[in-house]
């Protein structure tokens, strides 16, 4: 399996347009010891020919241009992108779909609740279905295993299992609308298995961890995990007010209930943080937080990384 990390920051990217936190300020001043990042976007392929996007970031158009493997290969209109798997309806995960509206055929894999949010309640996504055989929506349910199939019907060699990671719908989904949706379909994690049995676990937003999830992660060869915030009150300290990491549906990296501690016993996979917020001090490669994460066996994803399993 081939994995391309096209973007690795949380929503807003790094630096974020309206943020003057120490990280963002230092990047703009040219003094930061670390990398700029676009918003989280991953692409996977079993054969290096047919590619599937994990979510669709607001930076998708530029991320496709930056990755040669995603460029058209035949004259006229063509794309190696066969499909998009959505893990939530967060704007950072779905707005990139609007950059794929130029009448190209591809599949969208998502839960029935996410499909309802996008297709029934947000008319702009109708641009993906202007003509027959444009986007084909395939409904997936937590607990299900299914093949990633191109719209042509060709089997990609990749199989997925999705599992619920939380019941929180995005803020733009009204309470009345959310009442008609299935809570377990709000946010999913995914394990993708290649034809040779290699497994990628992709969990960009994790609100809590239990034994069952930890056992599942132990079966992976590579783990791309929620690295949004270093500490629970990180945003509150930067902004002076606002929500904690836990209130936003992200367990922080540090602390007794943080991912470094909770996943210390998960030994099999190569462990990589992704979806890192611009305020997270572990982005600074000269700082103690970066060293602590690295010493605990974690890597911090960067745009442009390619992993081959």
User: Which span (17-25, 47-55, 138-146, 261-269) binds Zn ion, by CB under 5 A?
Assistant: 17-25
Q: Which is nearer to Zn ion, 38 or 46 (CB)?
A: 38
Q: How far is the CB of 287 from Zn ion (least distance, A)?
A: 15
| DSSP helix/strand/coil, 136 | strand
156 binds Zn ion (CB under 5 A): no
| DSSP helix/strand/coil, 177 | helix
21 binds Zn ion (CB under 5 A): yes
- Residue 51 and residue 174: Cα distance in Å, rounded? 34
Report how far apart, in Å, the C-alpha atoms of 213 and of each of 158, 164, 208, 234, 263 are: 21, 10, 9, 25, 10
The length of the chain in residues reads 309
**Residue 129, token pair as written in the block:** 């279905």
24 binds Zn ion (CB under 5 A): yes
| DSSP helix/strand/coil, 190 | strand
Q: Which is nearer to Zn ion, 184 or 233 (CB)?
A: 233
Q: Which is nearer to Zn ion, 187 or 254 (CB)?
A: 254
CB 141 within 8 A of CB 112: yes
Q: How far is the CB of 277 from Zn ion (least distance, A)?
A: 8
- Residue 117 and residue 108: Cα distance in Å, rounded? 14
Q: Which is nearer to Zn ion, 24 or 206 (CB)?
A: 24
276 binds Zn ion (CB under 5 A): no
- Residue 274 and residue 71: Cα distance in Å, rounded? 24
Q: How far is the CB of 89 from Zn ion (least distance, A)?
A: 25
Q: Which is nearer to Zn ion, 27 or 251 (CB)?
A: 27
282 binds Zn ion (CB under 5 A): no
Q: How far is the CB of 214 from Zn ion (least distance, A)?
A: 31
Contact string (CB under 5 A) for Zn ion, positions 232-271, x = contact = ----------------------------------------
Q: Residue count at the site for Zn ion (CB under 5 A)?
A: 4
- Residue 38 and residue 18: Cα distance in Å, rounded? 15
19 binds Zn ion (CB under 5 A): yes
- Residue 49 and residue 72: Cα distance in Å, rounded? 11
Please say whether the dihedral angle defined by the alpha carbons of residues 228, 83, 73 and 201, taken in this order, is positive or negative.
Answer: positive
- Judged by CB under 5 A, which of 278, 281, 301, 303 binds Zn ion? 278
Task: Write phi, then psi, for 279 (nearest 5 degrees).
Answer: -80, -10
277 binds Zn ion (CB under 5 A): no
User: Which span (3-11, 48-56, 122-130, 275-283) binds Zn ion, by CB under 5 A?
Assistant: 275-283
User: Which span (21-29, 87-95, 203-211, 281-289) binds Zn ion, by CB under 5 A?
Assistant: 21-29
| DSSP helix/strand/coil, 212 | helix
Q: Which is nearer to Zn ion, 189 or 281 (CB)?
A: 281
Q: Which is nearer to Zn ion, 19 or 217 (CB)?
A: 19
Q: Please, which residues have CB within 8 angstroms of residue 279's CB and are 6 or more apart in sequence?
A: 19, 21, 23, 229, 234, 235, 238
Q: Which is nearer to Zn ion, 19 or 173 (CB)?
A: 19
Residues within the interface to Zn ion (CB under 5 A): 19, 21, 24, 278
């Amino acid at each position: 399996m081939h994995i391309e990390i096209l973007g690795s920051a949380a929503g807003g990217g790094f630096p974020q347009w309206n943020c003057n936190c120490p990280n963002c300020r230092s990047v703009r001043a040219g003094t930061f010891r670390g990398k700029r990042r676009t918003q989280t976007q991953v692409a996977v392929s079993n054969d290096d020919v047919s590619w599937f996007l994990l979510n669709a970031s607001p930076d998708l158009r530029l991320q496709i241009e930056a990755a040669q493997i995603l460029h058209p290969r035949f004259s006229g209109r063509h794309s190696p992108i066969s499909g998009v798997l959505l893990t939530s309806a967060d704007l950072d995960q779905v707005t990139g779909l609007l950059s794929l509206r130029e009448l190209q055929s591809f599949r969208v894999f998502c839960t029935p609740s996410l499909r309802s949010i996008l297709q029934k309640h947000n008319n702009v996504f109708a641009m993906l279905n202007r003509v027959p055989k444009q986007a084909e929506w395939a409904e997936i349910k937590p607990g299900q295993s299914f093949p990633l199939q191109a719209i042509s019907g060709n089997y990609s060699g990749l199989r997925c299992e999705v599992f619920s990671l939380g019941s929180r719908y995005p803020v733009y989904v009204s309470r009345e609308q959310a009442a008609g949706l299935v809570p377990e379909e709000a946010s999913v994690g995914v394990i993708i298995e290649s034809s040779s049995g290699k497994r990628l676990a992709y969990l960009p937003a994790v609100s809590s961890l239990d034994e069952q999830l930890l056992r599942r992660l132990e079966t992976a060869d590579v783990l791309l995990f929620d690295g949004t915030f270093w500490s629970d009150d990180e945003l509150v300290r930067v902004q002076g007010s606002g929500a904690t990491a836990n209130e936003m549906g992200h367990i922080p990296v540090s602390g007794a209930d943080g991912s470094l501690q909770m996943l210390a016993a998960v030994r099999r996979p190569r462990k990589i943080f992704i979806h890192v917020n611009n305020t997270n001090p572990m982005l600074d490669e000269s700082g103690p937080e970066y060293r602590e994460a690295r010493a605990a066996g974690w890597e911090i994803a960067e745009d442009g990384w390619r992993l081959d399993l």
